[in-house]
Amino acid sequence: MKKALKIFSISILIIFALLIAIPFAFQGQIKDLVKRFINENVNAQVEFSDVSLSFIKSFPQAHVSVSDLTITNFEPFKDETFATAKDISFTMSIKELFKSASDEPIVINSINVDEALITLKTDKFGNNNYDITKEDKNANTTPTSQGNFSFSLEDYSINNSAFTYIDEAANILVHISELNHKGNGVFSTDKSELNTKSDANISITMDSTNYLNNNPIKLDAIIGLDLTNSVYTFKDNKGFINQLPLEFQGYLKLLENGQDIDITFENPESDFKNFLAVIPKEYSKNIEDVQTTGDFKVNGVIKGINSDETIPNLDINITSNNASFKYPDLPKRVENISINTSIKNTTGNLDDTYVNIEKLNFKIDNDVFKSSATLKNITKNMLVNANIDGVLNLANITKAYPIELENALTGILKAKLNTAFDMKAIETNAYERIKNNGSASITDFVFSSEDIVNPIHISQASMSFNPGTVSLNNFKAKTGDSDLNATGTIKNLLGFLLSNNTLKGNFDVNSNLFKVSDFMSEDKSSEEDKTTSDTESLKIPDFLDCTINAHAKTVVYDNLNLKDVTGTLLLKDQKATLQNMKSNIFDGALSISGEVSTKDKTPTFNMIIGADGFDIAKSFKDLELLQNLAPIAGLLKGKLNTGISLSGDLDDDFSPNLSTVSGNALAELLATRIGNDQGELMNKLEGALSFIDFDKLNLKDLKTKLEFANGKVSVKPFDLKYEDIAITVSGSHGFDKTLAYSAIFNVPAKYLGSEVNRLIGKINDSEVNKITVPITANIGGSFTSPTVKTDLTSGVSNLTKQLVEIEKQKLLNQGKDKVKDLIGNVIGGNKTKTDSVKQQQNNTVKDVLNDIVGNNKTKTDSTKTNTTKDAVKNVLGGLLGGNKKQKDTVKQ
């Protein structure tokens, strides 16, 4: 007995070892088998990582597995992936592996597919990416065979897979995800039954309209198979859309050009809770404990040929009468619900499918809301005709139904209107095709959005709907501290509400107080950006495309209070354009034109600013821009006219980033003087230039031009006057208050000290009084800690040299005149005169000598020069008997 057990155990081990080892011997044959099938049947690029064979997994049958399968299309879908699968496995009898003849079919008993992703696509030219099977002209195949393979399936399964169907021509997208499907039966006989179980999530979008969004579906079905006639009959079936149960009967028959379908369905129960079951669970929440009254029925017939040219006729009806529901955790009940809706197609043409919402009415508290609509041409450019008549307290929506809104709704909506349009008219703003008639109003409505900082509280708004436009008859609102009162026209309200289009319109807006910061939005940075920056920049909402003619009694921007503001504001593409804006500020008139753009990450501005009669002290105290353009002007009292052209970036608070500002300015000072609080700079100038009383400085009609860029302001030379002193100023300063200026003072000589004045008096010449000396004051340092350097000493020295030279020339000329008179008397020959002349000569020479080498040392030091001495020596030598030649020369 022990020997028998030992032999049996050894035999089992040998068989098990053979079952493991033998597949390796067939590995090459299996790969060849798969490649042969692909080459003979598939017109596409097929790749896989491995093919394996096992006798253990499906013993006593062979198990063949293909791993990491990828199928890529050829033209016209070149390089597009048609299908991928992590694993596809087949089971078959071991003897099937030994078939080698190409005409001997291999029988497959089961197929299992894991994690398949398949995309079925039809392009706008009608080409299908799934037409990849090669035609076998010699084969007489049936649905149970294909090439060298035949199927005698007992079971199959598709696990954790997804299918996508795209029809570009019809603009249809169907996506099935999380698909699990299995079936078992006998396929080898002519007639049999297949027992299937399926569940998945489905999304359906047609012409940009989403009809199902990841809704769960489930189907348990017994399907009768008539393989001879290709007829599949639904015998005992029950499916679910969300939680709505559906039963259906009928058949589907395969035709050469499509399918013949005849199916009827209905929900087996009539409780109104079935209506809530249709709504996706994330919106309807748990409906088990919801209290309902009334009925809800769905039934339909799908009958006809489904082909490339036609669809089956449709007659689907949804009805409910006098129903109600109440969620146990919510305070409000929705009642008097009436629904009568049908989906029909009587021609078989897909474009003729239409939805008729004959009635959709309900009541919450005492508010009754009625509506009806028809939707035609739903697969292409959908045509909508809708009627609304009723009252709705928006706050009751979340009190009666468990919907989660990003922002709470409040307000009373009243509407009585009819609208007719096509969706493309909405999307393209073809206003002539949008027909509106009626009116609507809303009171106490609060609107919140990420696009604005503060909620907008609309106390009252009323609109009249006209073909193509909506008239805003009345609009009163507050946001933050700002108030608005507006009228105007809106061109695409439906486009804004239905298609995320921009809100277009023209408005006349009045406001008592308008704070710019109340209307700015916060730009939410990405998580990555937030790691590098804690700030959020303000943005102009991108959904606005409006022209606003505004009048505001007070506009607050930063720390400025503008009074009686009028102008036109254009909002478009996250850009605000100001046109002809005027205001009163700083006891003067302000005008602004230009634009601010927040489209890029860093906001930018480009402005032309005009100031007429600004109070200098007030404007330079409150306006940082003026403080930086001309800080010295802050010390002045009087009026300012200026025109400023500038551009640059804005910071996170919407203030100019001064390091990026560039432009130019032309300033004119009117009736201006230096104020009592002169500041450190003026004190330094007065100390260095004692001859000027800056309180008396004449600044009337002063004009200057400034240019600025890269944080620097360059001031072109400008002239001003202090009594009879002309002053020229030029230079530059930085927005950081650093100074680099020069002031040239053309100072009359009389201001330069007593020594200079004594020389001027000695000369006693009117021309001398006109002499001026340029004295330069170099101003550096900073505005709060300035430095002033002058060349006053060198100026006085130069002036002294000029005066000495003038006096020297004057004395020389006087000496020549006296000598000339002396010579005339000598030549006359009169002895009496001669004696007299000689006496005069002696006196003259004495005077000259006294002038030149007299006892007054100060005068001698200041007037004698070698040139004068030589000249006198020559004259005296010639006259008083020195060199004969000189005498003769003098006589001559």
The predicted-structure confidence for 346-396, as pLDDT tens digits, reads as follows 999 988 999 999 999 999 999 999 999 999 988 788 899 999 999 999 999
Question: What does the alpha-carbon distance between residue 654 and residue 676 come to, in Å, rounded to a whole number?
Answer: 34
Could you give the CA distance from residue 640 to residue 666 in angstroms, rounded to a whole number?
A: 11
Cβ neighbour number for residue 423 with a 10 Å cutoff: 21
| pLDDT value of residue 100 | 55
Q: pLDDT at position 791, please?
A: 72
Are the CB atoms for 450 and 522 separated by under 8 Å?
yes
Q: Mean pLDDT throughout 315-341? A: 93
189 vs 26, which has greater pLDDT?
A: 189
Distance CA 213, CA 204 (A): 7
Rounded to a whole number of angstroms, the distance between the first and last alpha carbons of the chain is: 176
Average pLDDT, the chain: 76
Alpha helices of 717-765 — where are they, by DSSP H? 754-763
- What pTM, to 2 d.p., does this model score? 0.59
Q: Confidence band (pLDDT; 50, 70, 90) for 886?
A: very low
- pLDDT at position 341 is 95
DSSP string, 266-284: E-S--BTHHHHHHS-HHHH
* Sign of the four-CA dihedral 281, 286, 292, 295: positive
| Short-list 742, 691, 693, 733, CA closest to 711 | 733
Q: For Cα atoms 503, 504, 506, give the angle at the middle one, nearest 5 degrees.
A: 130
Q: Which amino acid is at 881?
A: G
**Confidence class for position 525, pLDDT limits 50, 70, 90:** very low
Rounded CA-CA distance 430/424 in Å is 8
User: Who has greater pLDDT, 846 or 582?
Assistant: 582
On whether the CB atoms of residues 95 and 123 are closer than 8 A, the answer is: no
Q: Are strands 503-515 and 544-557 parallel, antiparallel or unpaired?
A: parallel
Give me the pLDDT at residue 372, please: 96
- Judging by DSSP bridges, how do beta strands 231-241 and 244-255 pair with one another? antiparallel
Max avg pLDDT among 135-139, 167-171, 263-267: 263-267
- Of the listed ranges 48-57, 448-457, 524-533, the least confidently predicted one is 524-533
Quote the tokens at residue 469.
């436009």
Query: How much is the pLDDT for 230?
Result: 86
Read off the pLDDT of residues 293-307 as tens digits, 9 standing for 90 and up: 999 999 999 999 988
Task: List the single range of 143-157, 182-196, 555-569, 614-628 with lowest mean pLDDT.
Answer: 143-157
Give me the mean pLDDT over the 287-296 stretch. Answer: 88
Higher-confidence residue of 8 and 175: namely 175
- Judged against a pLDDT cut of 50, whether residue 856 lies above it is answered with no
Question: Which of the pair, 10 or 94, is modelled with greater confidence?
Answer: 94
Quick one: pLDDT at residue 615?
77
Helix (H) or strand (E) holding 159: strand 149-167
- Residue spans of the domains in the chain: they are 437-524+536-579, 812-891
Residues contacting 870, CB < 8 A, separation 6+? none
Structural contact between residues 310 and 271, judged by C-beta atoms closer than 8 angstroms:
no
Residue-wise pLDDT tens digits, 452-472: 778 889 999 999 988 878 899
pLDDT higher than threshold 50 for residue 859: no
Q: Which residue has the higher pLDDT, 384 or 194?
A: 384
> Whole-angstrom Cα distance, residue 460 to residue 474?
7
Band of the pLDDT at 776, cuts 50, 70, 90? confident
Least confident piece of the model among 185-199, 325-339, 838-852: 838-852
Burial category of 839 from C-beta neighbours within 10 Å (exposed 0-12, middle 13-18, buried 19 and up): exposed
Q: What residue ranges in 558-623 does DSSP mark as E strands? A: 560-572, 575-585, 588-597, 604-615
Q: How far is the C-alpha of 757 from the C-alpha of 766, rounded, in Å?
A: 13
Rg of the chain, C-alpha, whole Å: 52
Question: Of 7-21, 104-118, 341-355, 840-854, where does the model show the most confidence?
Answer: 341-355
Burial class (CB in 10 A: 0-12, 13-18, 19+), 876: middle
- Please name which of 211, 233, 215, 216 lies closest in space to residue 224, comparing C-alpha atoms: 233
- State yes or no: pLDDT of 608 exceeds 70: yes
The most confident of the ranges 82-96, 361-375, 467-481, 670-684 is 361-375
822, 781 in Cβ contact below 8 A?
no
What DSSP element (H or E) covers 45? strand 45-47
Q: Which residue has the higher pLDDT, 801 or 505?
A: 505
Q: Read off the pLDDT of each residue in 59-82 and give the average, rounded to a whole number.
A: 83
3-state secondary structure of 802: helix
Check residue 144 and give its pLDDT: 42
The closest of 272, 287, 281 to 329, measured between CA atoms, is 287
Mean pLDDT of all residues in 20-40: 57
Q: Is the pLDDT of residue 806 over 60?
A: yes
Long-range CB contact pairs, 691-697, < 8 A, 24+: 691/725, 691/747, 691/751, 691/752, 692/722, 692/725, 692/745, 693/722, 694/722, 696/722, 696/723, 697/673, 697/722
Neighbours of 587 (CB within 10 A): 13
Q: State the maximum Cα–Cα separation within the chain, in Å, rounded to a whole number.
A: 191
Pick the most confident of 186-195, 384-393, 509-518.
Answer: 384-393
Tokens of 348: 């078989």
CA dist 808 and 763 (Å) reads 10
Q: How confident is the model at residue 865 (pLDDT cuts 50, 70, 90)?
A: very low
Q: How does residue 339 score in pLDDT terms, banded at 50, 70 and 90?
A: very high
Q: What is the mean pLDDT of residues 240-248?
A: 82
